[in-house]
Amino acid sequence: MIITDILARNARMYPEDTALVEREPEKNRRTEMTWKQFFRQANRVANALVAAGVKKGDVCAQLMTNCIEWLPIYFGILASGATAAPMNFRFTESDIQTANDLISAKVLVFGPEFIERIRAVKDPLSSSIQTFVFAGEPSACPDFAVPLTDFTAEASPEPPGVPLSLTDPAGLYFTSGTTGTPKCAVITHRNLEFACFLENRHHNQTRADNFLCIPPLYHTGAKMHWFGNFIVGAPAVLLKGVTPEYILEAVSEEGVTVVWLLVPWALDILFAIESGEVKLRNYDLSRWRLMHIGAQPVPRSLIREWKSVFPHHQYDTNYGLTETTGPGCVHLGMENEHKVGAIGRPGFDWEYRIVDDNQVDVPPGTPGELWVRGPGVMDGYYKNPEATAAVLKNGWLATGDVARTDEEGFIWLVDRKKDVIITGGENIYPVEIEDFLASHEKIADVAVIGIPSLRLGEIPAAIIQPKPGREITKQEIAEFCEVLPRYKRPRRFFFGEVPRNPTGKIEKPKLREKYAGMKESFRL
């Protein structure tokens, strides 16, 4: 079922029910949209695009922060027959230009935060972009764009009638770039349909559920978790702001049942509770049933502490990639809390292999590259057959992640192949050391990277971010690490912030450049 048809069904069956709520606490603003309004707004966008000359197969880019207009615009692009290309809101002017050089978008819809960035590269963008649509207050619209309200003013709220197939491309998604140069994954309508069923199958959303969406919608993770609510016509809350108070207020006031957090946000909530800055008695959290985390390895110590504070919460962790249409190709499962630390087992309708460098399956317990196969695997990288051939092998996707299985068949993520540190001929997997260090009561966040060593090739170095108000010394950390095998112990310690991208992944290229002088390209 095409997801625009799912939207049409929701509008038909639950027209006056709430579909989306936007909360902007800093401005004390709350906006609500019904399924009927969502559907009609998406159709106006679709018909306006068709009237502007957009044809099936054209690319329409979207550069916006999370807001209530984001999803209707996205669905409007899909309904027009175009391929949606959501851009990372952290893209610089040159990133935007380079991205568009690849995708050759015909239309760009952008928010007010990006006026000056787009103005700076408007001329090269105009080589393909015929229409710039401004999704903000019309009075703030720059002279090179048309306000969204004007663009859609004369457009019909009925479906445009463009025939769509499950095999048609639906999205171009830029990979996160934490390992260097991002690429652009082609996601089909079938991929999106499957993501709806997958998420609902894993977390059992019903119309009684309410999903709190905090991560950026340009990324597959946030949208595909929302899909579990979307497919049953359940509401969702888009929260602008990630402070513990804002999150808990949204859960309390909106009756949220499902929250997908990133590791830093979960830590912030726990720190705020521990310090007394947040008092749980001030919030009604009785409907909150599930806290799940994805996008990066999750320290076991975090979940132990979380369950001690919220003992009645269900917990799950989800593993996925942009190339798998987001999370769920591997997931822990809410029934497997005893295996916290593992990323889990293959998700619904997914298969896996763990292979060595010769693409031969390795025995249980032996690290190798994780391969996955299922209905969520992308079509390939856009205009990049070489990169596609490097990761798609007879239907299998080579993830680039090193994993192992245990005696019960659970998969444990060891590290990314590129992040493996080779010291004196021994392979060191930073995630294992990060997980160990994260259990220290004074450490808020940690990253481990390899830095050059004349004698050993590389040595592990740990970047430590202490908990607020806690002091910790290098000697204290070194003594804590003495239980590790000698070759796994970090040889250098640095104190500083651990940078993470909007989806929570550690930005190791930045750390390697800062602490090891190893500059890596972040160009598309």
Q: Where are the domains of the chain?
A: 3-12+26-164, 193-416, 426-516
Looking at domain 3-12+26-164, which CATH architecture does it have? 3-Layer(aba) Sandwich (3.40)
> Bigger pLDDT: 219 or 9?
9
- Among the ranges given (113-127, 262-276, 288-302, 414-428), the one the predictor scored with the smallest mean pLDDT: 414-428
* 314-340: b (≥16 Cβ within 10 Å) or e: bbbbbbbbbbbbbbbbbbbbbebeebb
* pTM for the full predicted model: 0.83
Average pLDDT, the chain: 91
Whether residue 523 has pLDDT greater than 50: no
Handedness of CA 494, 369, 367, 219 (dihedral sign): positive
pLDDT one-digit tens code per residue, 212-248: 999 899 988 889 999 999 999 999 999 999 999 999 9
Q: Is the pLDDT of residue 520 over 50?
A: no
Residue for token digits 């481990």? 448
Q: Please provide residue 396's backbone torsions phi and psi, each rounded to the nearest 5 degrees.
A: -90, 145
Does the pLDDT of residue 180 top 50, yes or no?
Answer: no
If you average pLDDT over residues 32-49, what whole number do you get? 98
Lowest mean pLDDT, pick from 49-58, 332-341, 354-363: 332-341
For residue 181, pLDDT beyond 80: no
Query: What integer is the mean pLDDT of 304-322?
Result: 93
* Chain position carrying tokens 């910790």: 472
User: Is the CATH number 3.30.70.890 carried by domain 426-516?
Assistant: no
Report whether pLDDT(41) > 60.
yes
- Which pLDDT belongs to residue 356? 93
pLDDT of residue 95: 86
Question: What proportion of the chain, given as a percentage, has pLDDT over 70?
Answer: 94
Burial 506-518 (b: 16+ CB within 10 A, else e): bbbbbbbeebeee
Residue 296: what pLDDT?
62
Of 32-36, 134-138, 459-463, where does mean pLDDT reach its minimum? 459-463
Q: For residue 194, give both structure tokens.
A: 């499957």
Q: What's the CATH code, domain 193-416?
A: 3.40.50.12780
Which range is least confidently modeled, 1-5, 104-108, 142-146, 266-270?
266-270
Is the confidence at residue 143, as pLDDT, over 60? Answer: yes
Segment among 45-59, 251-265, 391-405, 424-438 with least mean pLDDT: 424-438
pLDDT of res. 124: 96
Tens-place pLDDT, residues 409-464? 999 987 666 777 867 656 677 877 888 898 898 999 999 988 887 656 678 899 99
* The pLDDT value given to residue 524: 31
3-12+26-164 and 193-416 in the same fold? yes
Q: What is the rounded distance in angstroms from the CA atom of residue 173 to the CA atom of residue 169?
A: 11
Please say whether the beta carbons of 33 and 68 come within 8 A. Answer: yes
176 pLDDT higher than 70: no
- State the pLDDT confidence band at 178, using cuts at 50, 70 and 90: very low
CA distance 157 to 135: 18
Best-predicted range by mean pLDDT (245-259, 422-436, 472-486): 245-259
Quote the pLDDT of residue 179: 41
Give the pLDDT confidence score for residue 425 in this predicted structure. 55
Q: Bigger pLDDT: 480 or 435?
A: 480
361-406 confidence digits (pLDDT tens):
999 999 999 999 999 999 999 999 999 999 999 999 999 888 999 9
DSSP string, 353-391: EEE-TTS-BPPTT--EEEEEESTT--SEETT-HHHHHHH
Backbone angles phi, psi at 205, to 5 degrees: -70, 140
